[in-house]
Amino acid sequence: MKKLIVLCLVSVMMLPACAEMTGPQTNTGKGAMYGTAGGAAAGALVGQLVGKNTKSTLIGAGVGALLGGAAGASIGQMMDKQAAAFQQALAESQAMSMRREPDPTPTSYGNTGGQQQAPPQIIALTLKGDVFFKTGSAEVYPGAYSEIDRIAQVMTQYPQTTITVEGHTDSVGSDSLNQRLSEQRAQSVASLLSQRGVEYSRITTVGYGETRPVASNNTEGGKQLNRRVEIRIRPMSQS
pLDDT tens digits, residue range 226-239? 999 999 999 996 44
189 closest CA partner among 158, 151, 160, 154: 151
Residue at 94 is within a domain: no
Q: What is the CA radius of gyration of the chain?
A: 22
Measured CA angle at 121 (ends 117, 125), to 5 deg: 150
Q: Is the pLDDT of residue 178 over 70?
A: yes
Query: For residue 98, what are the β-bridge partners?
Result: 125
CA 171 – CA 218 distance, rounded (Å) = 9
Give the CATH number of the domain where residue 138 resides: 3.30.1330.60
- Which of 36, 70, 88 is at the close of a domain? 88
pLDDT tens digits for range 7-51? 544 554 555 555 445 444 555 555 555 555 554 455 555 555 656
Q: Is 87 helix (H, G, I), strand (E, B) or coil?
A: helix
The structure's pTM equals: 0.70
How many angstroms separate the CA atoms of 57 and 62, rounded?
9
Write the pLDDT tens digit of every residue in 181-232: 999 999 999 999 999 999 999 999 999 999 999 999 999 999 999 999 999 9
Q: In this structure, are 51 and 136 located in the same domain?
A: no
- Return d(Cα 135, Cα 169) in angstroms, integer: 10
For 78, the domain range is: 2-88
Q: Of 71, 88, 105, which marks where a domain is finished?
A: 88
235, 110 contact by CB (below 8 A) = no
Q: What is the mean pLDDT of residues 55-83?
A: 67
State the DSSP code for 23. -
Domain count for the chain: 2
